[in-house]
Structure 1
Amino acid sequence: MGYVDEVLARVAKQNPEQAEFKQAVEEVLGSLRPVIERDEEKYRKQAILERLTTPDRQILFRVAWVDDAGQTQVNNAYRVQFNNAIGPYKGGLRLHPSVDLSIIKFLGFEQIFKNALTGLPIGGGKGGCDFDPKGKSDREIMAFCQSFMTELAKYIGADMDVPAGDIGTGAREIGYLFGQYKRLKGVYEGVLTGKGLEYGGSLVRTEATGYGLLYLVDELLKDHAQSLRGKTVTVSGAGNVAIYAIKKAQELGAKVVTCSDSTGWVYDPAGIDVALLQEVKEVKRARLTEYVAKRASSKYYEGHGVWSVKTDIALPCATQNELHLADAKQLVENGVLAVAEGANMPTTLEATKYLQEHGVLFVPGKAANAGGVAVSALEMSQNSERLSWTFEQTDEKLKEIMQKIYQNIKQAAKEYGFEDDFVLGANIAGFKKVAAAMEAQGIY
């Protein structure tokens, strides 16, 4: 048995119930085989893969808070600090009922490579809680966030671990979390990113993941003698990533015809009205049925179906494992040119393989959606320097980072004889940087 297979077996044995984490490890380690096989003895002797797939620490804690009825509620919370070989742990806080240790570990593991690809000095980590912000009052959100941060504050810091937002954790939640950290620690530091502009946040952070996704897709298409202009694009999701991906795609000349939420999806052949979508989802926090009620050209469908629409470019921007093998087959049948992940691991392994085998240009989330964490790291830089950059300055830096990511993953794939395999390229480029740092720092 080779080294990669030994470590995969070890991960499976030690994490039997953690399906998402095992899926992420299998995807990454499987594509690292060409690198490992070139120098297997060195990597094995230093146990690089065992150390890489085992978090530095896993912090599990309860969060007790009082709701508006005076009832005490209890939630399970997590912070997994995975690897800090190239910088402080960095990764979001997800607030959603589906959150468990497996999901947080898969996200944290992915974050190691994503953060390395940005070229910025940030390590990989992730956190969250099975708390659901939907339907909660502002006072309940504040009560939860204050209790959550009371425990989390023991393990984070501007040069140790810098959390950010994620699903369910927006500007409101970050504000309450930051206020409680400051109250507990008595210091004003850039311990969280995604902060409001009034207190150390960065311009472009809201738009970063969606904009970055399109900057990379634009670079990908140009490299293959194509253009976004005139292309039809399908997007899943209707949250922050999806909204700004739709906006930037349309600014670059494409027509986006779909979006979705947890109950259904919209098809708008005239092109999604971004302003209306923002009003429905960001202002009113309403369902997409309200979009359709105000947009005569659109239709609403219950359930899952975004990927049935004929498209040139598909951008899954909702959640993990949303694009299945059957969806991949529909996309290929409809002539899709490229698929780029705006969410974290939204495409199953089987679907990814099918798309690649049928000539679709496929870019994984650790590369395609790295814009969010890139601007988070730029926010950290601004906080450290006590500066605030303009929108144009930050947006230009984001664009340069995403273009560089594409070029790096392209070159890594080509170097190992797998041209246009951007999954392999992303994993190899991220791994080589992190592994080199681990080797340089000795066994710790």
Structure 2
Amino acid sequence: MATHTLGSKTPAESYIHAVFEQLIAKNAHQPEFLQAVEEIFISLVPVFEQHPEYIQHNILSRIVEPDRIVSFRVSWQDDQNQVQVNRGYRVQFNNVVGPYKGGLRFHPSVNESIMKFLAFEQIFKNALTGLPIGGAKGGSDFNPKGKSNGEIMRFCQAYMTELYRHIGPDVDVPAGDIGVGAREIGFLFGQYKRIRNAHEAGVLTGKTPGYGGSLVRKEATGYGLVYFVEEMLRDISETFLNKTVVVSGSGNVAIYAIKKAQELGAKVVACSDSDGYIFDPDGIDLNIVKEIKEVNCERIKTYVNYRPNAIYTEDFRGIWSIPCDIALPCATQNEIDGDAARTLSANGVKVVAEGANMPSNLEAINVFLENGILFGPAKAANAGGVATSALEMAQNSGRNYWTFEEVDEKLRDIMKSIYAVSKEAAHKYGSEGNLVVGSNIAGFVKVADGMIAEGVY
């Protein structure tokens, strides 16, 4: 739940406080959304002090209300011909910078609050990439785990039968997220083509390479995270070489963050899933993790069957008790609380960068900043995925197909740019080195200026 720490002293603080209180009154049942908004609002006080025109145009009240929220029933038949019902969502939050862009998440935890928090974050993350994409998110409380390919196909077809009305290459371009990979995107795209009778490749990203998808998309968020941390380390004359790294999660983001960190000379000693975590003092064998997760679809605890020196521990949150130089939370929102942050700090962590969306709560972020730990917030550090999605859109529009090396180079340049603009904004607005403030402000100013330019609508 949001902690409501916004003050009300200066005109800027009074305005921000008033808008946030109104938001609480309207959305008291949506803690994830309020948490995301508060984290950004706290950063914006110096912006509104320097730019009173944002108050005049009431930018905050406008920016916290989605352009639209689509909620719909998804009825489908399982392999026993039983009718199942799920709820689908698409939150189209802001398209000032470009067409709505954001992933689809299929997971039992999906609800309107989580969709709104993710879509709200996506506005500023997408703006930071420098690419013409707005902010959106969608998904369903459908759980693909344990489902057959046929069941997943039928669900995706039912979901797209409603969603197709609200998306398009120049309107809204969904991608994958938790529970939605190339398989699901393929099923969704097939149904879209069937309904529309058109091969609009740019309507979805995350497609299989060779069938409209981009190389590097699978690796992009994890690679981009490590590229961002590279820039953070460069500023203190450090590198990944010989650093001990802990990575939570074991999905795409975690796997490819581990891969790239290892390539740069780091020793990654732990990863996790929703059941627990493994600690391998000899360094994680990524080929084993990939076999467990990508081939066998098993739980991470089976890792110890391959590596007897490794230790498996129940409760994935305990992973943050492992001493490390660099911590990369890549699992889910709010996985690091104040206590975990204090443990990481006490154990000497130097850098924390977020591969997941909002994995550190506000208390944890404050602990990191107060203790001089370099902190890379999600909207900046994990923007590599959506950046590469936008590169896929560009390839689709131009009927091009870039090499792995071409896309990887563009991704690296984008992450360098995100770091640079976030660092510059932090400096400009009096929060030197605070990338939370810097990324929030850099993304916000771009969107706010666009809203003013386009008038009230």
Which TM bucket (shorter chain)? Answer: over 0.9
How much identity, in percent, do the aligned residues show?
Answer: 62
State the shift of 1:16 in Å.
Answer: 1.0
- 1:220 is matched by which residue type in structure 2? M
Q: Paired residue for 2:167?
A: 156
State the shift of 1:47 in Å.
Answer: 1.5
- SS of residue matched to 1:258: strand
List aligned pairs for 1:188-227, cutoff 5 A.
Answer: 188-189=199-200, 190-227=202-239
List aligned pairs for 1:311-326, cutoff 5 A.
Answer: 311-326=324-339
- 1:265 equivalent to 2:277? Answer yes
| Partner Cα separation in structure 2 for residue 352 and residue 44 of structure 1 | 27
Q: Paired residue for 2:393?
A: 380
Q: Paired residue for 1:86?
A: 97
State the shift of 1:224 in Å.
Answer: 1.3
Out of 354, 357, 369, the residue aligned to residue 341 of structure 1 is 354
- 2:324 is matched by which residue type in structure 1? T
- 1:84 is matched by which residue type in structure 2? N
Q: For 1:165-216, what per-residue CA distance to the aligned partner results, in whole angstroms no more than 9, with x for missing partners? A: 0000011100000000000001111100000112100000000000000000
| Partner Cα separation in structure 2 for residue 171 and residue 63 of structure 1 | 21
| Partner Cα separation in structure 2 for residue 212 and residue 297 of structure 1 | 31
Under a length normalisation based on structure 2, what TM-score does the superposition of the two structures give? 0.96
Q: For 1:235-286, what per-residue CA distance to the aligned partner results, in whole angstroms no more than 9, with x for missing partners? A: 0000000000000000011111010001010001111111111110011110
Q: Paired residue for 1:12?
A: 24
State the shift of 1:233 in Å.
Answer: 0.4
RMSD over equivalenced CA pairs, Å:
0.7
- 1:96 equivalent to 2:107? Answer yes
State the shift of 1:52 in Å.
Answer: 0.7
Out of 385, 406, 420, the residue aligned to residue 419 of structure 2 is 406
- SS of residue matched to 2:417: helix
User: 5+ unaligned residues in a row in structure 1: which ranges?
Assistant: none
State the shift of 1:291 in Å.
Answer: 1.3
| Partner Cα separation in structure 2 for residue 289 and residue 231 of structure 1 | 25
- SS of residue matched to 1:199: coil
Q: Paired residue for 2:60?
A: 49
Q: Paired residue for 1:251?
A: 263
| Partner Cα separation in structure 1 for residue 349 and residue 131 of structure 2 | 33
- SS of residue matched to 2:203: coil
State the shift of 1:295 in Å.
Answer: 1.3
More divergent stretch after superposition (378-387 vs 28-37): 28-37
Q: Paired residue for 1:143?
A: 154
Q: Paired residue for 2:432?
A: 419
- 1:39 equivalent to 2:55? Answer no
Out of 297, 321, 327, the residue aligned to residue 340 of structure 2 is 327
- SS of residue matched to 1:314: strand
State the shift of 1:5 in Å.
Answer: 0.5
| Partner Cα separation in structure 2 for residue 39 and residue 120 of structure 1 | 24
| Partner Cα separation in structure 2 for residue 45 and residue 185 of structure 1 | 43
| Partner Cα separation in structure 2 for residue 262 and residue 344 of structure 1 | 16
| Partner Cα separation in structure 2 for residue 361 and residue 431 of structure 1 | 22
State the shift of 1:37 in Å.
Answer: 1.6
State the shift of 1:44 in Å.
Answer: 2.1
Q: Paired residue for 2:248?
A: 236
- SS of residue matched to 1:432: helix
Structure 1 runs of 4+ with >2 Å offset: none
Q: Paired residue for 2:381?
A: 368
Number of matched residues? 443
